[in-house]
Structure 1
Amino acid sequence: MQNDPRSHGLWERTAPAAPQSGPLTGDMSADVVVIGAGYTGLSTALHLAERGKSVVLLEAVEVGFGGAGRNVGLVNAGMWVMPEALCETLGPVAGNRLIDFLGDGPRQVFEVIDRHAIACEAEWQGTLHLAVGEKGLAEIRERARQWQSRGAPVEVLDAAETARRVGSTAYAGALLDRRAGTIQPLAYARGLAAAGVQQGVSLFTQSPVTALRRSGAGWQAVTPKGSVTAQWVVIGTDAYTGHIFPQIRQEQVFLPYFNLATTPLNAEMQARILPERQGAWDTKEILSSFRFDQAGRLVFGSVGALRRGGAAVHRAWARREMARLWPDLGPVRFEAEWYGQIGMTADNLPRCHQLDEKIITICGYNGRGIAPGTAFGRFLAGHVAGETEEADLPLAPTPAQPISARPLREAYYEFGAQVAHFTGSRF
């Protein structure tokens, strides 16, 4: 996108085309204007249109331009925060409600994929959280205990079973979560857009909202060449939010994350590495993730940005790390590389903001956007349609709280990852 092969990499090359769209020209009216064509905005628009509401969806660049088109493609249940810690933060009532809601997220993703026949390389085989050493093993055992106490279909695999499923003896064990899976993330975003358009959503890309002002009993969203007047506004821009509501950006620290895609591996290596096609990530503080795409490319990623010298450092680290994990893999060639930003909140939990009367957003997914964005979008559609009250939201609205020293923290994450990867896997 925007002639930048490092923005969406493999996903842009292999995703089906997005529905035809272009800039908004002229003035329109609708029941709801949704701003941002990521998972939250796309899901909200689709589910509103299925309810018979007129919806205009405005996107500043292209469908899936932000995190929705750049991420690893792991469809996980819950958040990074363990269930008991989440309840300590939000309280038992609100915490348990959010845990149950997010635990059902992957099912909602795959149900939408099936219902609308979205071609996005969906694999509903679970995910593997890989334990690095005894500390990592203790972590995944505790995660398993907490989720199993809630009846979730998760289990701890021993080192031998983990080696069978991963093709490497580097891990002390793994947490298998059968609720989860993988998708081609940009293909999923484009598929949601196509489904929404088919249901009647008016989609406009290259249409950044430059102003949002009151208009009678509703709101007018102004773009460079037009405007939309609506009773409700749903903001779905999350970490890629611009100047309209800067408080959304100010409450998130950007964590860069990159992915490298190999050329398709040979049949023998594909049969050994992740033979059941789970997506995987490890328990390291600077974590690594890996998965296959449908053509047998191994997609390998970690924290870091492919700029300011980072591309060469991270690429060299990935080759060393892959050789350590799979010594007989042999030399690998990367045919695509890309990166984006993960918006991290202070407590690693998402936020719901009632930004003004009938302007609402849910944001701050902390690297878990696919399932929560889909599920929250569906719920926001019901809320905007009048099916639920504010008190029924799975996440209570709160004021945005800016994070101090954001630029310093972001620089630390980017350059800290470079330092760690420059020295990592060398000895």
Structure 2
Amino acid sequence: MTGDIPGISLWDHSAEEPESGTPMPGDVTTDVAIVGGGYTGLATALYCAEKGMQAHVLEAERIGFGGSGRNVGLVNAGVWYPPDKVRKLLGDTYGPRFIERFGSAPGQVFDLIEMHQMRCEVTRTGTIHAAHAAQGMRGLRERYEEWQRLGAPVELLSRDAVAERTGTRAFHGGLLDHRAGTVNPMGYVRGLARAAQGAGAVVHTGVRANALRRDGEAWVIETDRGIVRAEHVVLATNAYTDTLWPGLRDIFTTIEFFQLATPPLGAEMAHVLPGRQGVWDTGMIMTSLRRDAKGRIVLGSMGPVVGEAGRGLSRRWAAKRLERLFPELGPVRFEVAWHGQIAMTPDHLPRIIRLAAGVLTPIGYNGRGITTGTVFGQCMAELIAGGDPADLPVPMSDLKRVPFKAVKTGAMRAGFVAHQLWKSF
């Protein structure tokens, strides 16, 4: 992260939930060992603990250090695809189940926040998928009609209606999803850590898993702080997956998503997102827009931060974007810039993979980490407790590598940087 604010992101600095986690005191024996202290790992620990299982989380850095603490903070229903496309990809058994479970996923997140009184700046005023151009409304209208047939509380907005909710006439209309909302993403992941520990799980930070091997009836994780023996292992590292399980990080391509935040702007920006809905647009290279509880405007798009919050290509991109959206604000300073990684699968759908007997990984969230991590954390607990894989919202997947991953990743990164340059003039 670059800018005036310390930490890995704005959310790291502004989250009201305190950091938690303890050093690993030595060798550990547990029912479930979970590698990764983000949404998935901590939701898995929480749901396992609630089922009476011993769960230990192993986080190499600190809670939320990866994608969870760098997220945009939109709590969205569904995935990138409209319901009909999901049904075609997953079939008549899994398709409707996936649509239902992920359609209700924001409610699951909000219920956890309320139940455990997580301090994460939660809003439940919806999110807006905004048409970046006139042709973007066609796809939004189709999505609206599909969700309406399913009884979802979505609303198709005219250009005037979007302008009223966002404060800008730059969008051509939009789709308001009343199921959705926003959070401080670091506040939510820290809240999950507190809830998991309150339920009896143990969260160890500063513990790096170096090797994983089978030893009789147990799995052994060799760490830099000792040995962990467990009957079940969940690898909950998603886009931050390393070489702990050979070939696992090759099943997805990695892209970055960068964000810049202004200082609190006060009364001058009261007309900007007055209901604090989160916004993302229909552009092929997506832009996100939201405001936080202190009155900061947060802009984001695909690609890495190039430069710093105060200078460089990404700052110029953000300044031009803000000028187009809200010219009345005049020149605005940015106080922080950061980016995180997203794991993109070839079909843009998440995976659950049984790597071996007793070893599971949910992976490939395609930018929907908050809801997917929470839902899949519950799925992990259900499977470990003896649940039927046929009841999952997705079928079990194989470990299938993406061909030419390095080439694709490099090409996308270069394209995103070129897009920043193009939009900076």
Question: TM-score, normalised to structure 2's length?
Answer: 0.96
Q: Distance in 2 between matches of 1:74 and 1:292?
A: 11
- Show CA shifts across 1:196-246 (max 9, x none): 112211111111111111233121111012111111111111110111124
Matched, 1:235 2:223: no
Where do residues 128-167 of structure 1 align in structure 2 (5 Å cutoff)?
128-167=128-167
- What is the number of residues matched between the two proteins? 424
Contact 1:18 1:193 in 2 (8 A): no
Q: Distance in 2 between matches of 1:277 and 1:309?
A: 26
Matched, 1:286 2:276: no
Give the letter aligned to residue 111 of structure 1: D
Aligned counterpart, 2:331: 331
SS at match of 1:119: coil
Aligned counterpart, 2:404: 405
Matched, 1:396 2:395: yes
Aligned counterpart, 1:424: 423
Residues 308 and 329 of structure 1: CA distance in aligned 2, closer, same or farther (over 3 Å): closer
Give the letter aligned to residue 322 of structure 1: L
Give me the CA root mean square deviation.
Answer: 2.0
Matched, 1:190 2:190: yes
Question: TM-score, normalised to structure 1's length?
Answer: 0.95
Runs of 4+ aligned residues of structure 1 deviating over 6 Å after TM superposition are: 1-7, 308-311
- Show CA shifts across 1:326-374 (max 9, x none): 1101111111111011110000000110000011111101000101111
Matched, 1:219 2:181: no
Give the letter aligned to residue 170 of structure 1: A
Q: Distance in 1 between matches of 2:157 and 2:125?
A: 15
Residues 208 and 3 of structure 1: CA distance in aligned 2, closer, same or farther (over 3 Å): farther
Kindly, what percent of the aligned residue pairs are identical?
43
Residues 83 and 58 of structure 1: CA distance in aligned 2, closer, same or farther (over 3 Å): same
- Show CA shifts across 1:122-161 (max 9, x none): 0011000000222101011111111111111111100111
Give the letter aligned to residue 182 of structure 1: T
SS at match of 2:56: strand
Q: Distance in 1 between matches of 2:403 and 2:307?
A: 24
Contact 1:7 1:340 in 2 (8 A): no
Unaligned runs of 5+ in 1: none
Contact 1:306 1:314 in 2 (8 A): yes
Give the letter aligned to residue 325 of structure 1: L
Q: Distance in 1 between matches of 2:420 and 2:239?
A: 25
SS at match of 1:342: strand
SS at match of 2:228: strand
Give the letter aligned to residue 276 of structure 1: G
Give the letter aligned to residue 267 of structure 1: A
Residues 374 and 294 of structure 1: CA distance in aligned 2, closer, same or farther (over 3 Å): same
Give the letter aligned to residue 423 of structure 2: G
Q: Distance in 2 between matches of 1:6 and 1:75?
A: 25
Aligned counterpart, 2:365: 365
User: Deviation of residue 51 (structure 1)?
Assistant: 1.7
Contact 1:46 1:192 in 2 (8 A): yes
Unaligned runs of 5+ in 2: none
Q: Distance in 1 between matches of 2:220 and 2:34?
A: 12
Matched, 1:169 2:169: yes
Bigger Cα displacement from structure 2, 232-241 vs 415-424: 415-424
User: Deviation of residue 2 (structure 1)?
Assistant: 13
Residues 89 and 165 of structure 1: CA distance in aligned 2, closer, same or farther (over 3 Å): same
Q: Distance in 2 between matches of 1:275 and 1:9?
A: 23
Q: Distance in 2 between matches of 1:247 and 1:401?
A: 9
Aligned counterpart, 1:10: 10
SS at match of 2:134: helix
